[in-house]
């Protein structure tokens, strides 16, 4: 094995190209069919070709996902796929439901053990690349060539590792702030259209009320690494962990200042749910928001599809949206964004059938699933949005704010393009150290020092 280099030239050759999602089409109509079993795909993507039938033979492919919250939509996608490809059955399994961190850990173990899985949903490019580095996913080039498509004409995210394609992207997930509009109205606060994190902090103070079990917090930051990097997303493009030369970025003053800012909101202002409460009580961000225990939640566009499901998430308040706030010297409108992707493991029993499924799921199926902004080339917001929010959105959505955020001409999606093979280890290290700081287990100086020293060891110890 050879040592992985420490400079940019030694980073994986992965390319991500995001096209704007705010373009309007005056001929798109109202698109009011919603997503209730609608298979009238208005996508600009060329439909996948029907299967050549082989009478008497039927293969069952095993597909992994964590998105149990979209099971009903996924079942509709599968039904449409099996109707088009009668010789392929799909067994979509949810090894862990609605918890991507635990899902990733479990799927990693299953794939390393050689489990026969035909397709795996990943929540980010970095997680996909990590498995490619460990030789768990197979390239899709032969299937793409056999189908006769130009990948870059179909998808807005060109995900290649060392020149080969390893995934089909489903949707792009720019982040924003979800807000309980009833709480904003009660506090006399307008829906922000341009704001800073200092503004967010002031909003959180005004939206916090009550005490004890009846306390309503103005803000909620979940346990993921993203919530420790918010101050860097608007000040630095690409993966927040690394500088342009590939070295670690833990000495970035914006990172230090953000961690201190978050600590103060949770432990001094007491206006954001303390991390120690989230960890010890195993809080789930959906339950906290829809249960009206928090007023504001930084999150991604995957949540758009979940608001309308008042049966699964009982609530009767209207949700409004604001852009991700700008940090100090950051660029207005810039937000973190990533891409969900389907890959095919090397252990797949039926890789050709799996390829047909992930191509269908990420094109025609994307409008049946309606789980977020599609990763198709030249995605049109006016076309996809009605599928996501349903037929009667005004009861639960402040639609003006949805469109203001996603049509913002300053919207700039900051995707983590750099993904070295040790990125997962850096992720784990980062979460571990900032948790210690945020719950009072170590000082901020010790946190940053440990990140630099332990991070350096991970980089220097990595072998390809």
Q: What is the pLDDT of residues 92-138, one digit of tens each?
A: 999 998 888 899 999 999 999 999 999 999 998 888 988 998 899 99
Long-range contact set of residues 453-456: C-beta below 8 Å, sequence gap at least 24? 454/429, 455/248, 455/250, 455/426, 455/429, 456/248
Beta bridge partners of 179: 296, 320
Length of the chain: 464
Would the pTM count as exceeding 0.75?
A: yes
According to DSSP, residue 213 is labeled G
Residue 18: pLDDT above 60? no
Give the residue from 336, 327, 380, 291 showing the smallest Cα distance to 31: 380
- Comparing CA positions, the residue from 214, 202, 221, 218 lying closest to residue 274 is 221
Structure tokens at 248: 């670690």
* CA dihedral sign of residues 311, 317, 323, 324: negative
Q: Which of 419, 345, 340 lies closest to 137 in space, CA to CA?
A: 345
Mean of pLDDT values over 427-436? 97
CA separation, residue 179 to residues 185, 220, 259 (Å): 11, 11, 22
pLDDT exceeds cutoff 70 at 367: yes
403 pLDDT above the threshold of 80: yes
- Predicted confidence band of residue 80 (pLDDT cuts 50, 70, 90): very high
Check whether 33 has a pLDDT greater than 60.
no
Percentage above 70 pLDDT, the chain: 88
Question: CA 281 to CA 186: how far, in whole Å?
Answer: 29
Instruction: Please identify, in words, the CATH class of the domain defined by 175-336+416-461.
Output: alpha beta
pLDDT at 380: 87
Q: What is the pLDDT of residue 424?
A: 85
Which of 434, 458, 462, 457 lies closest to 446 in space, CA to CA?
434
SS3 248: strand
* Mean pLDDT, range 160-169, rounded to an integer: 94
Q: How far apart are CA 265 and CA 272, in angstroms?
A: 6
In the Cβ-directed half-sphere of 285, how many Cα atoms lie within 13 Å? 22
Q: Where in the chain is the domain with CATH 3.40.190.10?
A: 31-173+340-389, 175-336+416-461
Please give the Cα distance from 88 to 233 (Å, whole number). Answer: 42
Band (56; pLDDT cuts 50, 70, 90): low
| For residue 43, pLDDT beyond 90 | no
Strand ranges, E, within 210-249? 217-219
* pLDDT, tens digit (0-9, with 9 covering 90-100), for 167-199: 999 999 999 999 999 999 999 999 999 999 999
pLDDT mean over 223-251: 95
Give me the residue label for tokens 């280099």.
5
Q: Is the pLDDT of residue 455 over 60?
A: yes
Sign of the CA dihedral with 409 first, then 42, 388, and 175 last: negative
- Rounded to the nearest 10°, the torsion over CA 113, 118, 124, 129 is 60
Q: What average pLDDT does the segment 305-334 reach?
A: 95
Distances in whole angstroms, Cα of residue 152 to Cα of each of 137, 169, 376: 21, 11, 9
pLDDT at 419: 81
pLDDT of residue 344: 98
Confidence (pLDDT) at 32: 30
Query: Quick one: 31-173+340-389 is in which CATH superfamily?
Result: Periplasmic binding protein-like II (3.40.190.10)
């Amino acid at each position: 094995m050879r040592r992985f280099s420490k400079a940019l030239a030694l980073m994986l050759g992965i390319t991500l190209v995001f096209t704007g999602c705010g373009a309007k089409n005056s001929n798109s109509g109202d698109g009011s069919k919603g997503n209730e079993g609608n298979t009238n795909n208005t996508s600009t993507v060329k439909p996948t070709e029907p299967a050549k039938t082989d009478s008497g033979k039927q293969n069952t492919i095993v597909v992994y996902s964590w998105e149990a919250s979209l099971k009903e939509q996924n079942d509709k996608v599968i039904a449409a796929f099996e109707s088009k490809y009668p010789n392929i059955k799909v067994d979509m399994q949810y090894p862990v439901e609605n918890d991507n961190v635990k899902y990733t850990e479990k799927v990693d173990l299953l794939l390393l053990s050689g489990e026969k899985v035909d397709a795996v949903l990943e929540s980010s490019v970095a997680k996909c690349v990590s498995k490619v580095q460990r030789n768990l996913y197979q390239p899709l080039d032969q299937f793409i060539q056999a189908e006769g498509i130009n990948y870059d004409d179909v998808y807005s995210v060109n995900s290649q590792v060392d020149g080969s394609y390893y995934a089909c992207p489903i949707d792009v997930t720019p982040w924003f702030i979800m807000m309980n509009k009833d709480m904003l109205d009660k506090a006399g606060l307008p829906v922000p259209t341009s704001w800073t994190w200092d503004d967010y902090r002031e909003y959180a103070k005004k939206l916090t009320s009550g005490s004890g079990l009846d306390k309503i917090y103005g803000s909620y930051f979940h346990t993921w690494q993203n919530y420790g990097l918010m101050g860097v997303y608007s000040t630095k493009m690409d993966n927040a962990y690394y500088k342009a030369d590939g070295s670690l970025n833990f000495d970035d003053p914006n990172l230090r200042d953000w961690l201190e800012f978050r600590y103060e909101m949770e432990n001094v202002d007491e206006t954001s749910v303390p991390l120690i409460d989230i960890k010890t009580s195993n809080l789930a961000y959906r339950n906290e928001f829809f249960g009206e225990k928090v007023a504001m939640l930084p999150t991604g566009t995957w949540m758009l599809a979940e608001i309308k499901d008042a049966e699964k998430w009982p609530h009767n308040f209207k949700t409004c949206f604001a852009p991700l706030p700008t940090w100090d010297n950051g660029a207005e409108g810039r937000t973190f964004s990533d891409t969900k992707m389907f890959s095919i493991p090397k252990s797949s029993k039926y890789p050709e059938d799996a390829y047909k499924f992930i191509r269908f799921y990420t094109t025609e199926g994307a409008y049946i699933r309606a789980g977020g902004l599609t990763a198709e080339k030249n995605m049109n917001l006016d076309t996809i949005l009605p599928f996501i929010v349903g037929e009667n959105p005004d009861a639960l959505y402040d639609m003006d704010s949805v469109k203001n955020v996603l049509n913002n001409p300053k919207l700039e999606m900051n995707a983590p393009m750099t993904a070295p093979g040790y990125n997962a280890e850096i992720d784990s290290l980062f979460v571990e150290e900032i948790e210690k700081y945020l719950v009072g287990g170590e000082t901020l100086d010790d946190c940053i020092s440990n990140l630099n020293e332990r991070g350096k060891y991970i980089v220097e110890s990595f072998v390809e």
